Chains A and B, each alone.
Chain A
Amino acid sequence: MLLKNTYNELLKIATKIRSYIGIGALTLLIFIVLFAMKADGKSYVGFVTASFEQTLSFNGKILNGNLIAFIIMQMLIVHVPLLIALVTGDLLSGEEASGTVRMLATKPISRTGIVFSKWIAATVYTLIMTFWLGFLSLFVAKWMFGTGDLIVLNSNGLLILAEYDLGWRFVFSLIVAFLALWTVATLALAFSAFAKNSVGPIVSTMSVIILFTIIGTLDVSVFDTIKPFMFTTHMAAWRSIFEDPFPLREIIESVVILTVHIVALLTITIVRFNKKDITS
C-alpha cells in the first residue's frame, strides 16, 4: 500500500506544473552561467589568479568544465532549496487546501504511511533535481569547456586539484548536496503538515534557511555554540569534499547532523499529521 501510495504521490508531483518550474529554472540558470562563462570566463579566472599574477604565471587550461561545474554547484546550491521547497512544501498542505486530505485519510493506509509515501515522493523529486544539477553542470560543462585541473578558492588561498582526482569528489559532493537538499525537502514537508495552504510552508522554509544562513555568517561569538548544530551550516559541506587533505571527520559530522535533522523533522511531521484534526 505504501508503494502504491508513493506511486500516486509521484504521479501527483509529475502532473503539477510547479514541479517543472524548478527543473526549468535550474536548466535556464545553468545555461545562463554556461553562456556567461563562455563569453567572459577569462575575466573570472583573472579575478581568481590576480593576487598572484605579479609573481607567478598560471599555465594550462584553467577555465575548464570542472571549474565551471564547481562554480555552478556553488551558485545554485544556495538557490535550489527554494525550487525544492516549491514542490515539497505543497505535499500535505496542498491536500488540505484542495480538500482532498479527508479522502486521502479514508484510504486503507495509516496516516504515518501517508506521510512516508509523501516523504519518499519528495525524496525522489529532490534526487531528480540533484541528478539534473549534476548532469548539466558536469557533463554539459565538460562538453562545452573540456576537462582539466580544478582551481578551488578558499580563504586559505588556492588549491589546485588534479583532474584524475576529481571524479569521485564530484560524485561524493553531489551525494552530500543531495543530503542537504533532502533536509530542506523534509523541513518543507514538516511545515506543510502544520499549514492549510502551500504558500506558508514554502515561505517558512525559505525564511528558516535565510535566518540560519545569516546567523551562520555573523562573526558573533554568542552564536558559536548553536552554529555547529544548524543544518544550514552543513548545507555547504559538499564544498569540503574539494579540500586537501580530505576532511573526513568534518564531512561525517555534517552527514550525521543532516541525517539527524531529516529523522527529527520526519518524526515531527508524522506526529503532527497523526494528531491532526482533519476538518476540511
Chain B
Amino acid sequence: MRKLSILVLVSLVGHTQAQTANALIESVLDKINLVNDYKAELQIKAVIPFIKVPIANATIYYKKTDKFKVESKGIAILPKQGLSDLTGFLTNTKSYSAVLGEEKTINEHKTKLVSVLPSAENSEIVLAKVYISPSDALIYRTVLTTKSSGTLSIDYEYNHNKQYALPSKLTFTVDIKKFKMPKSVASDIRNNDDKKKYKENEKGTILLVFTNYEVNKGLSDAIFKEDQ
C-alpha cells in the first residue's frame, strides 16, 4: 500500500512537471504564433576555425509555417540547424515530450530548463534543452543535439519584438570538425611553419544581429521560390 502511494505520488509529480514544462513551451508558442510572417535585416559575424569570413549582411524572410529564406548579396555563413527548424519542432507539441529541469540564470534572466525529447525515431533533433524564462515567456538559451550536426548552443537576446518572441541577437556556438584540404587543391607556395595549429574539433561562433523587423506585413509566396 505504501509502495503504491509512492508510485502514485511520483507519477503525479512527473505529470505535474510535464504539464509545467509543456505550459512553459506553450507560453512561448503563444508569442511565436502571433507571427504570421516577418522580414528583417540580418548582420552575420562568423568566427569559425578554418574559415575567415567578412561580416555579411542579409535579409531574412519567414512565413508561417515553415517558409524560410535568407537572401544575401555576398557569401553568408549560417548554422545548418537552429534558425528556423527549432520553432517548427516546438510548434508540433505532439511530436515530443518535455521534462522540467533545473533553474538557471542566463544574462540576468531567471530561466527554467525544459528538456525536449522527440517521439519520432528518425527525428533530426535528438535532444533540445530549452531555457525558458517563466516571467516573460521567452527562450534565452537552447542547446540542441542533432543527428548530423552534433551539438550547438544558441543564446538569445531580445529588444523591441519581445511580444513576438523574435530575437534581436542570436549567438550560435557550433562544433567544427578538423578541416582537411587536399594538397592538390590548396597550392600554398610558402612553408607553412607559421600556420595556426587547430585541434581535432573546435568551437565556432556565429553572431546574428536582427534589425528592422517587419512583422505581419504580408509576404508573398514568390519570395520563397528558389532562384534559378
Binds B, one of A8-16, A152-160, A195-203: A152-160
Checking A57, A240, A244 against B77 with a beta-carbon cut-off of 8 angstroms, the contacting residue is A57
Instruction: Determine whether the beta carbon of B75 is less than 8 Å from that of A52.
Output: no
A22 and B214 CA atoms in complex are apart in Å by 57
Q: Is the CB of B80 within 8 A of A148?
A: no
Among B12-20, B111-119, B134-142, B174-182, which stretch is in contact with chain A? B174-182
Q: In whole angstroms, how far apart are the Cα atoms of A202 and B70 in the complex? A: 53
Within 8 A of A (CB), among B53-105: 53-54, 56, 58, 70-80
Contacts of A148 in B (CB 8 A): 73-75
A149 at the interface (CB under 8 A from B): yes
Task: List, in ascending order, chain B residues with CB within 8 A of A220's CB.
Answer: none
A59 touching B54, Cβ below 8 Å = no
Whether A54 contacts B190 in the complex (CB less than 8 A), given A156-B196, A157-B52, A158-B50, comes out as: no
Question: Contact: A60 with B72, CB < 8 Å?
Answer: yes
> Is A236 positioned at the interface, with any CB of B under 8 Å from its CB?
yes
Shortest beta-carbon distance, A143 to chain B, in Å?
18
In this complex, the member of A60, A161, A234, A240 whose beta carbon has the largest number of chain B beta carbons within 10 angstroms is A60
Q: Judging by beta carbons under 8 Å apart, are A54 and B186 in contact? A: no
Q: Name the CB-closest residue of A to B189.
A: A236
A233 CA to B188 CA, complexed, in Å: 10
Q: How many A-B residue pairs have CB under 8 A?
A: 127
How far, in angstroms, from A58 to B206 measured CA to CA in the complex? 13
Would B52 and A159 count as touching, CB distance under 8 A?
A: yes
User: Are B76 and A244 in touch, CB under 8 angstroms?
Assistant: no
In contact, B51 and A59 (Cβ under 8 angstroms): no
Instruction: Name which residue of chain A comes closest to B80, CB basis.
Output: A57
Selected A-B contacts with CB under 8 Å, 30 pairs: A47-B185, A51-B181, A52-B51, A52-B179, A54-B148, A55-B204, A56-B79, A57-B78, A57-B79, A59-B70, A60-B76, A148-B73, A148-B74, A149-B74, A153-B181, A153-B186, A154-B186, A155-B195, A156-B195, A157-B49, A157-B51, A157-B52, A160-B52, A162-B54, A163-B74, A236-B187, A237-B189, A239-B187, A239-B189, A247-B190
The 10 closest A-B pairs by CB, nearest first: A157-B50, A155-B186, A149-B75, A149-B74, A60-B75, A160-B53, A236-B189, A60-B72, A59-B76, A158-B51
Query: 13 new A-B pairs (CB below 8 Å) besides A56-B204, A148-B73, A240-B190?
Result: A51-B177, A55-B175, A56-B78, A59-B58, A60-B56, A60-B73, A60-B76, A157-B51, A158-B52, A165-B54, A233-B189, A239-B187, A244-B52
